[in-house]
Chains A and B, each alone.
Chain A
């Protein structure tokens, strides 16, 4: 290794360390005291997924559902919650790789782990709102309460109340209900 290569190597190492530090302090990538497990869910970092899926709805992080759920959802894109969401075979393969590779049962993020643990083995929910963990966390949003504040709307629209939803952070203290003055 010559001097130039050494310098390049050191620079690359510093860049990697720098990115690591930047990630370490982001809200969605916090580490717990033991430094092993990260809270929340990993933010979406895939342009194809953001444009193909995020064009019509909140780009749900892959860590919100397990592999088997994503597989089921992808297999039915032709009839996607009443709409057509067909993609080309190339796009399909890339989306599948991204979603299943970062699914709730493949990553070590606190909220992903809790969602995954709340789904019985035989079930393949294709809506995050159907999972027991989600329902437990949103139990205070009773139908009468939502009737009183119709701006909350569908619970599928994470970003309506969770101000950091796009960053993969769903902390209670980041919640801002529409027009409740909080």
Chain B
């Protein structure tokens, strides 16, 4: 019994470490690009930023699909598809895979804001999501 409790504890601990590692790795990479320090409050600004760039997605924002609270589930503004919460605090699958994180930054920054996001913006946003309790 004691052993199994220990094993569960160990598994949870390793999962938590694995999560932190992915974000840490990405932040370190952004720092190598010259970005930083990262501020969670700037991540919140990005979430609510409205595209005014005159592209097809003008008027769009990250929050339009993800809501203004990353701990809530969202809904794709056009297709109605459910989007699971972004915050690892309530959705442990988030921010576990660096490639996946970069894929969505690429697609969604371009699609929503009409441009790629800077390393600074990405770092701020990840810091914001990772520090939500």
B76-105 CB mask vs A (1 if < 8 Å, else 0) is 101111000000000000000000000100
Interface residues in B44-73 by Cβ distance below 8 A to A read: 56-57
| Nearest-neighbor residue (CB-CB) of A153 within chain B | B80
Docked complex Cα distance between A160 and B75 (Å): 14
Docked complex Cα distance between A56 and B81 (Å): 6
A73-89 CB mask vs B (1 if < 8 Å, else 0) is 00000111111111110
B79-A84 in contact (CB<8A): no
| A133 close to chain B: CB less than 8 A | no
Q: Is the interface of A mostly helix, strand, loop or mixed?
A: loop
- With contact pairs A79-B56, A82-B56, A84-B111 given, residues A56 and B79 touching in the complex (Cβ less than 8 Å): yes
Partner of B110, one of A84, A154, A160: A84
- With contact pairs A84-B111, A85-B111 given, residues A57 and B76 touching in the complex (Cβ less than 8 Å): yes
Q: List B contacts of A98 (CB < 8 A).
A: none
- With contact pairs A56-B76, A57-B76, A79-B56 given, residues A85 and B81 touching in the complex (Cβ less than 8 Å): no
A57-B81 in contact (CB<8A): yes
| Nearest-neighbor residue (CB-CB) of B99 within chain A | A88
- With contact pairs A57-B76, A57-B79, A156-B79 given, residues A82 and B57 touching in the complex (Cβ less than 8 Å): yes
How many residues on A have C-beta within 8 angstroms of the other chain's C-beta atoms?
A: 20
| A176 close to chain B: CB less than 8 A | no
B57-A86 in contact (CB<8A): no
B106-A58 in contact (CB<8A): no
Docked complex Cα distance between A55 and B107 (Å): 12
Interface residues in B107-128 by Cβ distance below 8 A to A read: 107-108, 110-112
| Nearest-neighbor residue (CB-CB) of A51 within chain B | B100
A84-B81 in contact (CB<8A): no
A84-B76 in contact (CB<8A): no
Least distance between A19 CB and chain B CB atoms (Å): 30
B106-A157 in contact (CB<8A): no
Partner of A58, one of B57, B81, B111, B112: B81
Q: List A contacts of B103 (CB < 8 A).
A: 87-88
Least distance between B80 CB and chain A CB atoms (Å): 6
Least distance between B31 CB and chain A CB atoms (Å): 24
Interface residues in A124-182 by Cβ distance below 8 A to B read: 153-154, 156-157, 160
Extra A-B contacts (18), CB below 8 Å, given A57-B76, A83-B112, A154-B80? A55-B81, A56-B76, A56-B79, A56-B81, A79-B56, A81-B78, A82-B78, A83-B57, A83-B78, A84-B108, A84-B111, A85-B111, A86-B106, A86-B107, A88-B103, A153-B80, A157-B80, A160-B80
Chain B positions within 8 Å of A, measured between CB atoms, are 56-57, 76, 78-81, 103, 106-108, 110-112
Chain A positions within 8 Å of B, measured between CB atoms, are 55-58, 78-88, 153-154, 156-157, 160
Q: Which 4 A-B pairs have the closest CB atoms?
A: A84-B111, A84-B110, A57-B79, A83-B111
